[in-house]
Structure 1
Amino acid sequence: MFFKLAWLNIFKHSKRSLVVFFAVLIAVGVLTLISGVLSGLTATFLDSILPTAGHIEIKAAGSDNAVNPQDLKYLLPHANKLLAQIQDPRVLIKEKILSFPALVVQPVPVDSKADAKNLGMMGQGVSPSTAFYSNIRQGITQGSFLPQGEGILLSESAAKLLGVKYGGSVMVLTTDRDNNPWYQELKITGLYRSGSDLTDDSLFFVSTATAESLLDAQGMTREIRLVLKNPADSYAVRQSLLSEFPPQHYEIDVWQETFGSLLTILKLLDVVSAIIRIFFIIVATSVIANSILMSIFERMREHGTLRAIGLKRRQLLAMLLAEGGLLGALGALCGLIFGASAVAILAKVGVDVGSATEYLGFASRIYPVLKVTDIVANGAAGIVIALASTFYAARVAAKKSVIDALTYL
C-alpha cells in the first residue's frame, strides 16, 4: 500500500519529484565518474608499472645508496648462474636486465659541415623475448622489438629529434668497465611509441649480447628482476632468497619499497576520493532534504486528512520513506547508467592528465576503470542520500498533530 501511494504521489507532485530525482542522478553519476578515474590510476600502477619493473629486484650491494647507481662497478657477475640459483616455485618470471647510460648520436658524413645531433639516454640490454616491457612491445610502430643479432629499438620521438629513420643507423657511445670510451654503430630495427613521453625520451633497447659487448661486461648484468605469481608474497620470497643472495653482496628490493612513494600517493587518492564522496553526499542530501521538506509543507493538509481518517504517524513516516526510496532508487539507477557510460567512453579515448604524472610513475593518459564494488557503493549511496533526506522531512510531518496539520497554512 505504501509503495502504491508513494508512486502516485511521485507523479502527483512531479516538479518536486524531478528535483529529487536529478539531484540523486547527478550525485551518483559524478561519484561513478570519479571512482572510474581513480580506479584507472590504480590499474595503471598495478597493470603497467609492476609487470614492467617486476616485484623483486636483485642488485649489487651498495647500488641503492650510491651517488651514481649506474656505475659499472655495481654490475653483477655470473648472471646466468645467479638466475639458475633462483628456484622458488612462487617466482613466475626471472630475467637479467643490463641497463647503462649512453649517448645516442646521429651519424654524419666526415665531410659534412652539420653538427651531429645527440641524446643522452638510458640503454636497456634485454632478451629479444623478454617478458618485461610489454607496453613497449605493444607500442611498436615500425619493425620489430629486437632482432637476435645487433640492432637498436628507439622511440619515434627520439628518432625524430636525432633526425634518423627506421632502417637507418645511430652511434651508441658509452664507457666500458675500464672507463674507456667505446661505441658501436647500430641499425635501427624498430621504432616504438609507449604513450609516456618520459619513457620515449629516455629509453632505448638493445639485446643483452650487444649491451655486454658495449660495456665489455660479458656474463654480467645490472639487476635480476622477478615477477611473482602473487605480488603479496614479495617479502616471503625475499626472505627465502637471502641464503643464495647474502646482504653483504646483494640488495633485494621488493616492489612495496621500490614504489613506496607511489603507494602513498594511491592511499592519498583513496582519502581524496572519500572526501569528495562525502562532499557530494552532503550537498545532495541538503538539496534533496530542502526539496522534500518544501513538498511536505505544501502537502501538510493532505497528510492531516490521512491522519484524521486513521493513518498513524509511523504509517505516514513509512509512506514518505517509500516515496524517497523509490526516487532514490530510480535516480541512482539512472545515475549509474550515466556515470558508467561516461567511464566507458573515457576508457576508450583516455583522460590526458598531463606529463607531470609521468614523474610519479603514472602514464600521461589514464584509462578509467569501473569496478563492481564502486557500482554497488555508488548506487547504495544514492538510495541512502534520498532516504536520509526523506527521513528528516518525514519526521517533521509525522510530529505534527492532526489539528495542526489540518489548519496549516
Structure 2
Amino acid sequence: MTIKLPAVAFRNIFRNFRRSMLSAIAIAVSAMAIMALLALLEAMESDMASNLVSYYTGQVRVRHESFEQYERYNPLHLSLAADEVLPLVADQEGVRAVTSRINFPANLYLNGKNNAALGVGVDFASEEAFIDFPSLVKEGRLPTEGSNEMLIGAFLARDLHLNLGDKVTVLTSTALRGSNAMTFQIVGIASFPVGGLNAKVLYVPLDRAQYLLRMEGQVQEVLLLTEEGYKERDVASSVKKLLQTELSLGTETKAWKDLNMMYSFLAIAKVIYYVMGAIFFVLGSTVIINTTMMVIYERMREIGTLGALGMQGKELTRLFLLEGTFISIIGSTLGTIVGVIIVFILSKVGLNFTEAMSGVDMEISSILYPQVNFFIAIFVWVYAIIIASLSTLIPSRRASKIQIVEALRYV
C-alpha cells in the first residue's frame, strides 16, 4: 500500500488537538526544567572555577613540599624565599602572572573578646591579575604597603560592629611557634562574591603580615596564572622541575583542579543531572505513551481498515511512531525556547543565594548568573525528542500486532 506516512501522521495530530497539546506540554515542561537546571549547573561550575583561581589557588599553586602534610598545625616555617622563587617562576615559559600570599589564623581582640578570622597577607600590586580589589571595595580604600592597615569583609565588619577608621588588634601564632599581636586600622570594607570571604577574611599588606608572623622575606605560597594555550598541569610540572634544578627546592606544585575536591564533585554532579534529565523526559513521555494507547483503541476500526487495504504491521508502527515523534518535536521545541528565555532573564537579574549560602563554606558566589549556552539548548532539544520518541515505540508496536478481523469487529 502506497501512502505518505509523515503527512498522514502529522494530520492525525490535529484530530484530537487538545490531547496532542497535553502530551507536547508534558515534554515541554521537562525540557524547560532540564534546560534551566543544566544552565544553573554550568553557572555554578564556571563561577567556582573563577573563584578558586582568583581567591584561593591561582591556576597553579606552589608550596613547600612538606606543607600539606603538616597543614593542620599551621606550619608557617615551611615557607618559600620570595626573592628567589618569584623571579625564577615569573620567567618560566607559560607563566602569565605571579603573586605570593600568606594565610594565617587570626584572632581579633575586641571588647575583651577574641573573634576568629582568617588573615591573608597579599601584595596588592601583584594581585591585580588575580583579584580586582578596587571593584570589591564598597567603602574606603585599599591598604598601602608598609602601613598597619587592613581590608575587611563586609559581613565580618557587620557582625563585629566595625567601621572605617576602627583599630583592631590581631593576635596570631608565628613561624617561630610563638605568639604575636599587631594593631591594624580598617581602611577598607569589601564585598566579596563568596560568602565565606565576606564572613571571615581580612587582607593586610604582605610586608606587614611577614613582620607579624616573623617571616621576613618568606611567603607561604606562590600562585601562578598560565598563558593561553598552556595546560596547567604541564606548567606545574615544569615549574616543579625548575625549582628543584635551580634551587634544590622540593615543592608541592599542583594545578588548581587537583587541589579542590568540591570542584571534582561538581563535575560528577553534572553526570548525575544528565541522568536525572533522562528520567524527567521518560516521566514526561508517559503522557505520550498513554495518549498513543488511547489513540490506538479509539482508532481500532481504522487500523483494521488500513490493514485490510494492505498496510503492513511495520507501517502501522511507523505511523504511530511518527505521530509521537511530531508531538515530541513540538513539545521539545516549545520547552527549549521557553527555557532559553528563562535563562536569558536570569542571566540579567541573577539568582540571589546570599541567605541560603550565608552559613555554607563553599567557593561559589552568593549571586549566580546562568548564561545561555546554545550547545546545552541543542542537546536538550535533541535529547527530549529522542527519549520521547523512543517511548512511543512501545505502544506503537502494539498496533502492528492487532489482528485485522478483530479490529474490524471492534466497536
TM-score by length of 2: 0.86
Alignment partner, residue 115 of structure 2 = 119
Alignment partner, residue 131 of structure 1 = 128
Contact 2:145–2:207, Cα closer than 8 Å, also in 1: no
Deviations 1:260-314 (A, max 9, x none): x224412431342133123213322333112111112111222333444454544
- Distance (Å, rounded) in 2 between the aligned partners of 1:303 and 1:145: 79
- Distance (Å, rounded) in 1 between the aligned partners of 2:197 and 2:220: 19
What is the root-mean-square deviation of aligned Cα atoms in Å? 2.8
Alignment partner, residue 322 of structure 1 = 322
Deviations 1:165-185 (A, max 9, x none): 123332333355445544433
Letter in 1 for 2:202: F
Matches within 5 A, 1:50-65: 50-52=53-55, 53-65=57-69
Secondary structure class of the residue paired with 1:276? helix
Alignment partner, residue 253 of structure 1 = 254
Contact 1:40–1:367, Cα closer than 8 Å, also in 2: yes
Secondary structure class of the residue paired with 1:384? helix
Shift of residue 220, structure 1, vs aligned partner: 1.6
Letter in 1 for 2:251: Y
Contact 2:53–2:130, Cα closer than 8 Å, also in 1: no
Shift of residue 230, structure 1, vs aligned partner: 5.7
Establish whether residue 220 from structure 1 lines up as the match of residue 218 from structure 2: yes
- Distance (Å, rounded) in 2 between the aligned partners of 1:47 and 1:175: 31
- Distance (Å, rounded) in 2 between the aligned partners of 1:67 and 1:200: 23
Establish whether residue 382 from structure 1 lines up as the match of residue 384 from structure 2: yes
Alignment partner, residue 166 of structure 1 = 164
- Distance (Å, rounded) in 2 between the aligned partners of 1:67 and 1:19: 59
Secondary structure class of the residue paired with 2:100? strand
Establish whether residue 8 from structure 1 lines up as the match of residue 11 from structure 2: yes
Q: Percent identity?
A: 22
Residues 1:174 and 1:395: Cα distance change in structure 2 (over 3 Å): closer
Contact 2:172–2:181, Cα closer than 8 Å, also in 1: yes
- After the TM superposition, which of the residue ranges 84-93 and 307-316 deviates more from structure 2? 307-316
Secondary structure class of the residue paired with 1:157? helix
- Distance (Å, rounded) in 2 between the aligned partners of 1:384 and 1:351: 35
- Distance (Å, rounded) in 2 between the aligned partners of 1:291 and 1:351: 40
- Distance (Å, rounded) in 1 between the aligned partners of 2:176 and 2:334: 68
Establish whether residue 97 from structure 1 lines up as the match of residue 94 from structure 2: no
Alignment partner, residue 192 of structure 2 = 194
Secondary structure class of the residue paired with 2:321? helix
TM-score by length of 1: 0.86
Matches within 5 A, 1:12-31: 12-31=15-34
Question: Which of 40, 49, 69 is the aligned partner of 2:43?
Answer: 40
- Long gaps (5+) in structure 1: 107-114
Secondary structure class of the residue paired with 2:364? coil
- Distance (Å, rounded) in 2 between the aligned partners of 1:135 and 1:354: 25
Contact 1:7–1:323, Cα closer than 8 Å, also in 2: yes
- After the TM superposition, which of the residue ranges 180-189 and 41-50 deviates more from structure 2? 180-189
Establish whether residue 338 from structure 1 lines up as the match of residue 338 from structure 2: yes
Secondary structure class of the residue paired with 1:19? helix
Secondary structure class of the residue paired with 1:142? strand
Shift of residue 27, structure 1, vs aligned partner: 1.7
Shift of residue 63, structure 1, vs aligned partner: 1.1
Shift of residue 23, structure 1, vs aligned partner: 1.6
- Distance (Å, rounded) in 1 between the aligned partners of 2:155 and 2:162: 10
